[in-house]
Amino acid sequence: MSPENENTPAAPSDFIRDIVAKHVAEKKYPRIHTRFPPEPNGYLHIGHAKSICLNFGIAREFGGICNLRMDDTNPTKEDVEYVDSITEDVNWLISGWANDRLGLKPKGKTPDAVTSNGKPDYYMPIAVDNAVTEPFYASDYFDQIYEYALVLIKKGMAYVCDLTPDETDEYRRHAKASPYRERSIEENLNLFTRMKAGEFPDGKCSLRAKIDVASPNIWMRDPLLYRIRHEDHHHTGGKWCIYPMYDFAHCLSDYIEGITHSICTLEFEVHRPLYDWILESIGLPRPLPHQYEFARLSLGYTIMSKRKLMQLVNEKLVSGWDDPRMPTISGIRRRGVMPEALRAFAYNIGITKYNGITDVAVLEHAIREDLNKRALRRLAVLRPIKVVLTNYPEGKTEELEAVNNPEDENAGKRKVPFGRELFIEQDDFMEVAAPKFFRLKPGGEVRLKYAYIIKCDEVVKDAAGKITELRCTADLDSKSGGATANRKVKGTIHWVSAAHAIDVECRLYDRLFTEAEPEKDGRDFKSVLNPHSLEVVTAKCEPSLKDAKPEQRYQFERLAYFALDKDSSLTPNTPRLILNRTITLKDTWAKEARK
């Protein structure tokens, strides 16, 4: 078993894990084997993260293996760019947690085919010599899947049908038998071989299972097994011009890899009879894999379909698949979220059979909990206003001690420079203060964190009436250890020394949509894009942030959590720091909602 990670909550229990536990107790299989089977036609999103955590989580908890498999049967929409991003995202999410459970592919070898009897090279060892962390591909099984199709034809359980795709749909809807249904086995073998040889154009004919045209389950009404697509495939190149349909390839890929529990989302429940029919009709030796379904993740303020996410990318409504506002794993990662937080979220929401919308606050809570433990505290001002301490000596600098992380003693302390001129947050000053405003106001006092109590004596404005400077006096005995250090003032605010501040580009990200259900009542999700989902400011930051590291997380005190963006340049001569706001400290949306 993998070592327990302190940030990973205890393994949950749910109806799928109960089934697996029962099978383990019964010793039904030599080893539990799951898989995560994305189609490489887009980037993975947080819904996929739920599935990854479930499949790898089960492998981890029950001493099994989970394969990452590209479900790549449709050459028109798939691309290696997606294969690469998927592989990277899965590895990032399971690294240090379940990567020792990743099914490994022996180099240059795919699991062996079985067409008549004997078992496939099924239970692959975890550590195979020369194994690489490379995904499995359904397209690596095209030869075997083709052989299986021949088996069905020879058994009189599949036929070549010349109806057009539209006619086929129409016939199936009306439970009508194809006129080609009773072709002889010889004719079917001949036609299918010629389909493979490329003799027919796209759509001229297809291979269909011969099941039951009048079945109450439309998926059983002689479904398509193979179609013609004269198109190169990202993994098999120009080798094939016929491609198996998802339903045909999926169960067989599961079988070939020795999958025991094939876990998918609820919409596949109606496909399960077909899944079983194919495996049983071919007459494969047991044990056969079995399919289980759970409710997919739908998240508030989020759209999840890859097709729609692609629309955001293609129409340049976001900067790319990994835009930090995207619900993609790569976007979430770039925003600064740690894999531990995503895994905690996936565990917290649980696995059920009921579709519903998960409150985005659940995700945000998991992110805050994780960052609170790991983030280094820093002083930074996002929207500065200048403060001059008129009674503080010009040219004097003090080094004040500040705690790096109150949640982690080992994070230690640091020195923060303090001087006569400071920046504070515009929000922390109100010229005409509201009744419960306990921050700085004319004539009022506030504590500067780690430093002195100050009092605002004068508000300086420019000709246009805009505040340019606050002139204040400091109680010079009120610093920690001083005579008036314990004097009570209601508010504490953060600050940065003007002389020492460094400028940092901060990208302030917020929710991408203004509505919890962007597509409610058929509305176009693009009509509810949040116009304030990205604001860029130049923040004044304490100088220690010049050493910001990509793997480190930061909390700007009283504001938010930040992480270094990949657009930053860390070269010593021309450093350019860009920090992404991962999430604010408090849920500002909940406050809005209450108003």
As a whole number of angstroms, the distance between CA 224 and CA 139 comes to 18
Examine residue 296 and tell whether it contacts ligand ATP (CB under 6 A). yes
As a whole number of angstroms, the distance between CA 435 and CA 428 comes to 14
Nearer to ligand ATP, 39 or 519 (CB): 39
Cβ-based neighbours of 570, under 8 Å, separated by 6 or more: 550
Examine residue 135 and tell whether it contacts ligand ATP (CB under 6 A). no
Task: Give the DSSP H/E element, type plus range, for residue 94.
Answer: helix 80-94
Binding mask 255-294 for ligand ATP (x = CB under 6 A): ---------xx-----------------------------
Q: Indicate the residue whose CB is closest to ligand ATP.
A: 47
As a whole number of angstroms, the distance between CA 429 and CA 475 comes to 18
Examine residue 348 and tell whether it contacts ligand ATP (CB under 6 A). no
Closest CA to 222 of 183, 149, 169: 169
Which residue of 16, 20, 29, 37 would you call a contact of ligand ATP, by CB under 6 A?
Answer: 37
Query: For 201, phi and psi rounded to 5 degrees?
Result: -75, 165
Token pair in block for residue 144: 């075997």
Q: Taking contact as CB under 6 A, which single stretch among the options 44-52, 129-137, 356-364, 550-558 is the one that binds ligand ATP?
A: 44-52
Cβ-based neighbours of 164, under 8 Å, separated by 6 or more: 203
Q: Taking contact as CB under 6 A, which single stretch among the options 91-99, 116-124, 191-199, 298-306 is the one that binds ligand ATP?
A: 298-306
Q: Taking contact as CB under 6 A, which single stretch among the options 42-50, 452-460, 482-490, 499-507 is the one that binds ligand ATP?
A: 42-50
Cβ-based neighbours of 317, under 8 Å, separated by 6 or more: 311, 526, 529
Examine residue 304 and tell whether it contacts ligand ATP (CB under 6 A). yes
Examine residue 47 and tell whether it contacts ligand ATP (CB under 6 A). yes
Binding mask 420-449 for ligand ATP (x = CB under 6 A): ------------------------------
Nearer to ligand ATP, 297 or 548 (CB): 297
Examine residue 305 and tell whether it contacts ligand ATP (CB under 6 A). yes
Which residue of 14, 17, 23, 39 would you call a contact of ligand ATP, by CB under 6 A?
Answer: 39
CB of 235 to ligand ATP, least distance (A): 15
Q: Taking contact as CB under 6 A, which single stretch among the options 14-22, 303-311, 332-340, 492-500 is the one that binds ligand ATP?
A: 303-311
Examine residue 250 and tell whether it contacts ligand ATP (CB under 6 A). no
Instruction: Sheet containing 224-228: give its strands across.
Output: 158-161, 206-209, 224-228, 242-244
CB of 356 to ligand ATP, least distance (A): 12
In 155-213, alpha helices (H): 165-173, 185-197
Closest CA to 67 of 109, 93, 90, 34: 34
Nearer to ligand ATP, 69 or 368 (CB): 69
Token pair in block for residue 274: 């077909």
Cβ-based neighbours of 471, under 8 Å, separated by 6 or more: 387, 388, 390, 456, 457, 458, 459, 460
CA distances from 590 to 43, 46, 297, 362, 586 (A): 30, 22, 21, 12, 9
Examine residue 297 and tell whether it contacts ligand ATP (CB under 6 A). yes
**Catalytic residue set:** 39, 296, 306
Q: Taking contact as CB under 6 A, which single stretch among the options 4-12, 33-41, 90-98, 465-473 is the one that binds ligand ATP?
A: 33-41
Cβ-based neighbours of 141, under 8 Å, separated by 6 or more: 110, 111, 113, 249, 252, 253, 256
As a whole number of angstroms, the distance between CA 58 and CA 3 comes to 15
Nearer to ligand ATP, 354 or 409 (CB): 354
Examine residue 518 and tell whether it contacts ligand ATP (CB under 6 A). no
Examine residue 51 and tell whether it contacts ligand ATP (CB under 6 A). yes
CB of 303 to ligand ATP, least distance (A): 9
Nearer to ligand ATP, 250 or 439 (CB): 250
Helix (H, G, I), strand (E, B), or coil: what is residue 485? Answer: coil
Q: Taking contact as CB under 6 A, which single stretch among the options 95-103, 167-175, 297-305, 420-428 is the one that binds ligand ATP?
A: 297-305
Chain residues that interact with ligand ATP, rule: CB under 6 A: 37-39, 47-48, 50-51, 264-265, 296-297, 304-307
